[in-house]
Chain A
Amino acid sequence: MRLLSSAFVALLAFARLSFAASSSGDSVLVLLDTSLDRENYSIFFGGLEKRGYSLTFRAPKDASPAITDYDVPNFDHVIFFSPEAKSYAQDITPQSLVGLLSEKTNLLIALSPKQTPLTSLATEFSLILPPPETPLISHHPARSERPTTIPVAVSSSSPLLTPGIPPVWFSGAPHALGNNPMLVPILRAPAESFAADSTDDTGADGIVDATEKGGEGLWAGSQMGLVTGFQTNVNSRVVFAGGIDLFSDEYARKELPSGTPSGNSQFARDIATWVFQETLTLRIDSVEHHRVNQTEAPEMYTTNDEIVYTAHISSYDSRTSTWKPYSGIGDLQLEFTMLDPHIRTSLPPVPGSPGTYQVQFRAPDRHGVFKFILNWKRKGYSYLSSSTTVPVVPPRHDGYPRFLSAAWPYYTGAISTSAGFFLFAALWLAGDVKGERKKVSKAE
């Protein structure tokens, strides 16, 4: 009985261990403001724990558990639910957070209309925040909540959101997006919303004055972002959300003005799965190159060789926690580069062989040291990059075309000479030896 129960416990623990939804680890540090109650976010945190993450909670001013120990990150992901904290413990500074991202730790950060150290971090990621204490307001649609609690429609154009999410409730600060292509817009503000600090109609003049005074103008309209992601060069992800109430239980349970339930819980889950490297996570398993009709990669290629390049790409499947071959990339490109790309072709997937992309092309006329460069970057997806260096040499002395039709006279001449010599030698040895008899003349 005891053996059975201990085996059962071991099996349970093992099952828990093997079910890790994220491709880069499942330990999460949550920095929760002391004024916030963990129970108010139970739907969000409970969803994370059910998918296999182990959450560790900490207040912003606590010194332990530290985020890094001697530049080695202690956690795989960090959630910042401390939108109003003005000061943090010593291990959290904007520089240390950027260092965390370089070490492939993902961050989920909730901002607020207040000015905090996280605001200056957001500016580093090309997000332009409004002046402090100007939350997002919208009088449309007519509803019974305060103007700062806004139902926002979720557009289906972002690849990381499941399609068909109902509108979500939002309250917080918007931000304007810079033109950095590494930004991934997730949720945009409604067209009628704007950032203002007035609480009654007499603030109308203040809004117009702020716009006319110049500077950034007014934070208004659907070009503003409310939740924006950023994917760094090392494929770590960070999401800035304009307010923390988006993740709260109250908004998840609140009904929209039309009477249907809100999409907050699904939306928060989609954001979390993207930031924690569960969805849209790709990697290159291996690349191969060889000549047509061969299988091994040669030490060097000759100009004008026909070369076959193959890439194996897989994506992470969070349901089975494994990397599965992925053939869904339709616009992969290969560059054959020596200082500048000499050849750029598309690398199409091979039908019937999942995860394999192959192309055949002819090596250029130039000799030199070339690189096969695979560099695929799209908003929301992991960046794929691979570079293989290979020499291309001119043909050897016997690599040129032979037996040309223009050389037939020369071939016949040489063969004719050889035949003539053989014939002369044979006939001279075999010939009649009658004194002064003249022998056969040499053939030319």
Chain B
Amino acid sequence: MILRLSWLLLAATVRAASLSLQSPRFTISASDATQLRSDTLSLTKKPEPLTLGATDTLKLTFQITDNDEGKGVQPHQTFLRFYDKVSGEEGIQPVRVTPGGKAKFELNMARPPTSIPPTTQNPLEVSLILGSFVHAPAKYDLFDIYLPASQTPAEHPDEASFHVLPTIEHTFRPEQKLPPQFISAVFAAAVLSPWVVLIGLWGKVGVRVPHLFSPSIVPFTVLLGGFEVLLVWYWVDLKLGQVLLYGGMLAIPTVFAGKQALYTTGEWRAGQK
């Protein structure tokens, strides 16, 4: 294991001719060629985040050299990577490098290249990726940049069904409003007022009911009461079919009781007369 590791180290040192970045410099200029900001980039510390307006241009120049010999080389891969850490969108832009190692990149926001990813309010992290078949690779974090927000990328029509959809609540018709119960009670009492009058007058006149519990009319009275009970029961609970059935059952004895009662009453009247 250690022997294998030492071979790897040897191989690494043999290929140690690595690429390095010399004199990176950026310039932001407005559409009328006035310079807004210009600075060199330090490889150890990122500068303040850059901001690019909708008509500004960013120019980036640098040179790639061989670490050992110090002369310019053209590596196989010189890519600028624009990465939005929050949304995860990424864009890779290759930069053309001359055989002498000099590179220039221009980003004109009036005509942005297609490799810029969709942007939001968050900054893009810009880094430079260098790779070569003969040199060791290198990666440098250059700067953060705020670009104007772009349109969001087009979504597939089915995309919404793969996420939680908004809750829908049904608005019901409001409960019907009733007048206050006190009013209803007052008018119910008003409905009962004729009974007050009746009881009062009866008190004055006097009610004589000598035959109230006579056995020939009590059956009819009771059955008539039964009909009233059936009526109240229908109001509370029963269905029409049941009411008709019970009513029919009650009607038969009532007919006979009624005939009996009327005959008896007739006898009394005839007898009295």
Contacts and interface: CB of A to CB of B under 8 A. Distances in A.
Interface of A: 138-142, 144, 147, 179-182, 191-192, 194, 198-201, 203-205, 207-208, 211, 214, 217-218, 220-223, 257, 259, 304, 331, 333, 335, 341-346, 362, 364-365, 375, 377-379, 404-409, 411-413, 415-416, 418-419, 422, 425-427, 429-435, 440-441, 443-444
Contact of A365 (B132, B154, B170, B202): B170
Interface string B181-211: 1001101101110110010011000011111
B94 to A, nearest CB: 5
A205 B78 CA distance: 10
B137 A426 contact: no
A181 B97 CA distance: 39
Contacts of A208: 94-96
B215 to A, nearest CB: 12
B45 interface: no
B76 interface: yes
A443 B198 contact: yes
Q: What band does the interface of chain B fall in when counting residues whose beta carbon is under 8 Å from A? A: 35 or more
A425 to B, nearest CB: 6
Nearest to A437: B208
A443 B192 CA distance: 11
Contacts of B81: 191-192, 221
Contacts of A425: 221, 224
Interface stretch (B20-28, B33-41, B49-57, B171-179): B171-179
A139 B170 contact: no
Interface stretch (B143-151, B158-166, B244-252): B158-166
A140 B139 contact: yes
B241 interface: no
A430 B228 contact: no
A416 B134 CA distance: 112
Contact of B172 (A214, A362, A444): A362
A180 to B, nearest CB: 6
A90 B210 CA distance: 113
Which 9 pairs, one residue from A and one from B, show the smallest C-beta to C-beta distance?
A139-B131, A220-B92, A430-B212, A344-B168, A221-B92, A139-B137, A409-B187, A408-B184, A408-B188
A432 B156 CA distance: 96
A379 B158 CA distance: 12
B225 interface: yes
A221 B90 contact: yes
B170 A342 contact: yes
A192 B131 contact: yes
A121 B29 CA distance: 48
A408 B185 contact: yes
A191 B141 CA distance: 13
Contacts of A181: 156, 158-159, 161-162
A225 to B, nearest CB: 13
Given A192-B131, A221-B92, A444-B194, A430 B214 contact: yes
10 contacts: A138-B131, A179-B156, A198-B76, A204-B76, A335-B168, A343-B170, A344-B166, A364-B170, A418-B228, A444-B194
A429 B262 CA distance: 8
B168 A341 contact: yes
Interface string B1-27: 100010010011001000000000000
A436 to B, nearest CB: 11
Contacts of A192: 77, 79, 81, 129, 131, 137, 139
Given A180-B156, A346-B167, A409-B188, A142 B209 contact: no
Contacts of A418: 228, 231-232
A208 B75 CA distance: 12
Contacts of B73: 201
Contacts of B232: 415, 418
Nearest to A205: B96
Interface string B76-108: 111101010000011111111100000000000
A172 B130 CA distance: 21
A333 B159 contact: no
A304 B130 CA distance: 68
B77 A194 contact: yes
B69 interface: no
A413 B272 CA distance: 38
A358 B114 CA distance: 49
B74 interface: yes
Nearest to B74: A204
Given A208-B95, A416-B194, 17 more contacts: A139-B76, A180-B156, A181-B161, A192-B139, A198-B76, A200-B134, A208-B96, A211-B93, A211-B94, A220-B94, A343-B170, A405-B184, A406-B184, A409-B187, A411-B188, A425-B224, A430-B212
B195 A406 contact: no
Contact of B134 (A201, A220, A341, A427): A201
A410 to B, nearest CB: 8
B272 to A, nearest CB: 5
Given A409-B191, A412-B191, A139 B162 contact: no
B200 to A, nearest CB: 12
Contacts of B188: 408-409, 411-412
A406 B177 CA distance: 10
Nearest to A377: B162
A375 B163 CA distance: 11
B191 A416 contact: yes
Given A142-B12, A429-B220, A345 B167 contact: yes
